[in-house]
Amino acid sequence: MLEVKSISKTYGKKENRFKALDNVSFDVSEGMTVAIIGKSGSGKSTLMHIMSGLDSADNGKILFHGKDIQQMKRKDSEKFRAKEMGFIFQSFFIEPNQTVYQNVMLPLEIGKVGMRRRKAMVLEALESVELLDKQKNRARDLSGGQKQRLAIARAIVHKPKLIFADEPTGNLDSQTGDKVMNLLFSLNKNLGSTLVIVTHDRELAQKCQVRIEIADGRIKAITKPRTGTQVVTSRKGLAPKRSPRRIM
C-alpha cells in the first residue's frame, strides 16, 4: 500500500545543517496498525509529514498504491490527501467557534462531497465516536477527550484508506487516552483503514501490529510481535543496501 523509499531530509544551512532523516526505507501493507516510535527529535514527526505529503523530502520516493506523492503538484496533493488520508493531531486543530457538526463536515467540503451525502456521512462519523448528541455544541465547549474524539470523527468521515495519528493521546489523561486508543483500533478494524501512529509512548506502540523505531533520523529496528525484532541498521548505523522491509 505505502512504500517509503530512501527518504532523506535536511534542515538549515552550512554549520546549522541538521539531518532529520537519513536514507529511510520500509513498506506498509494495507489494513495494518503501525507505530513509528522514537524520542523527541528522532525524526518521527518529520517522517509522518513526508509520508503524508505535508512536507517534501530532499531525496527518495513515497509511493501510495504505486503513485509517487512527492511528484504531485500542490493542488493535486491537497485533493489527494482530502480523499485518501485522515489526520489526528495532539493539539486537535479543531475550529473552536464552529459546531461539532461543522468541524466534521469540513473535509467533505474540501472534497466537494454533495450536501445530501455530506449529512449522512457526518452523522455516521459522529455516531461512531459517540458524539451524535453533541453535534450542535460549539467545539470549544467540549472536554479534552471529546475534542479528541471530534478530531477522530473529522479524520474518518470520508473513510480514508490511511489514517495518521501524531501523539493522539499526548494531551489526555491515561484513562481518557486509553478510551481514545481503543476507539482508534476499533475503527481500524471496522473501516479497514491503515493506521499509522507517531508516538514516544512505548506502551501505546506495543498495541500496534508493527513498530518502526527511529533514532537520529535512521531506522533502528522494525518489530513484528509474532516474529520478534528485525534490526535493519548496519554497524555504522546506516541502512544497508537491500530491498525495503515489507510489513505483512
**How many C-beta neighbours within 10 Å does residue 239 have?**
18
Is the pLDDT confidence value at 97 over 80?
yes
pLDDT at position 236 is 41
pLDDT at 226: 58
Q: Which of 91, 45, 49, 89 is nearest to 69 (CA)?
A: 49
How would residue 228 be classed by pLDDT, with cut points 50, 70 and 90? low
Task: Read off the pTM.
Answer: 0.84
Tell whether the model's pLDDT for residue 240 goes beyond 60. no
Percent of the chain at pLDDT > 70 equals 90
Which triple of cell numbers denotes residue 19?
539531518
Residue with cell 475534542: 147
Average pLDDT of the segment spanning 12-26: 91
C-alpha cell at 40: 523527541
Domain at 31-42+73-234, CATH class? alpha beta
Residue linked to cell 509511493:
63
**Whether the Cβ atoms of residue 34 and residue 195 lie closer than 8 Å to each other:** yes
Domain spans of the chain, in order of start: 31-42+73-234
| Cβ contact 54:74 at 8 Å | no
Q: What is the 3-state secondary structure (H, E, C) of the chain?
A: CEEEEEEEEEECCHHHCEEEEEEEEEEECCCCEEEEECCCCCCHHHHHHHHCCCCCCCEEEEEECCEEHHHCCHHHHHHHHHHHEEEEECCCCCCCCCEHHHHHHHHHHHCCCCHHHHHHHHHHHHHHCCCHHHCCCEHHHCCHHHHHHHHHHHHHCCCCCEEEEECCCCCCCHHHHHHHHHHHHHHHHHHCCEEEEEECCHHHHHCCCEEEEEECCEEEEEEECCCEEEECCCCCCCCCCCCCCEEC
Average pLDDT over residues 93-110: 92
pLDDT band with cut points at 50, 70 and 90 for residue 9: very high
